[in-house]
Amino acid sequence: MNLSSLSDLNFFSSLRAANRQFAVIGLGRFGRAVCLTLHQLGYEVLGIDTNEELVTRMLSDEMVVHALQLDSTNPNALEEAGVYDFDTVIVAIGNYIQESIITTLNLKEAGVPHIVAKASSEVHGKLLTRVGADKVVFPEHEMGCALARSLTRPEILDRFELDPDHSIVEHTVPEAFDGKTIAELELRRRYSINLIAVSCPDDPETFEMNPSPVRRLKIGTMMVLIGPNKQIDQLPK
């Protein structure tokens, strides 16, 4: 999952660099994906669910080092399992709103420093925020938006939203820009967009920051742009 806004950056930068342990409550598709990715990255993960079958599957598939079957709406069960000692807990219960909210409230009241919670609707997200979730995610909504963008603007390879109206994007150089200098394109005047980096023709993984205005762009290479979303979407395809 991408960092999609400046508030995301502020939240994740507050996490301790030395944090190596995470607890994930709810082992459905989203929770399993979080557990597996963290585990593959070398972090110690505790998976939790009320469903014994899901817990057993997590252990047999070696997606986590530890997994427990317990009711996360019971604060005593969470305390006995040591969940309150974790620096970051992900509440991945999306379809059971009451259980999700009560679990988040239990974690908040116990003083867990960082709580990330999955929401299934806007109302659900607002309730999670009110009871103490530090970061609320909408996986289905975010995936749907990303899919729509990739289908309609395949030349935009990555996007970081600064706020609802402005983004930093990685955009392939379109045919209309091929062979032209940055100065000739007049991106700031025509689109209110600033070009902050371009990839090197011989090495697409390497970027030149603040390129010279006389630098000629080559079709198929990448440029990093910052500006209003509406203007970015007006760039040639």
- Please give the pLDDT value at position 5: 45
- Please give the pLDDT value at position 71: 96
- Please give the pLDDT value at position 151: 66
The CATH 3.30.70.1450 portion of the chain extends over: 153-232
- Please give the pLDDT value at position 220: 82
- Please give the pLDDT value at position 139: 82
| Ranges of residues in the chain whose predicted pLDDT is under 50 | 1-6, 8-9, 11-12
Domain 153-232: CATH superfamily, name plus number:
Regulator of K+ conductance, C-terminal domain (3.30.70.1450)
Give me the DSSP letters along 75-123: HHHHHHTTGGG-SEEEE---S-HHHHHHHHHHHHHTT-SEEEEE-SSHH
- Please give the pLDDT value at position 18: 52
- Please give the pLDDT value at position 4: 42
End-to-end CA gap in the chain: 26
Domain 6-142: CATH superfamily, name plus number:
NAD(P)-binding Rossmann-like Domain (3.40.50.720)
- Please give the pLDDT value at position 179: 92
The CATH 3.40.50.720 portion of the chain extends over: 6-142
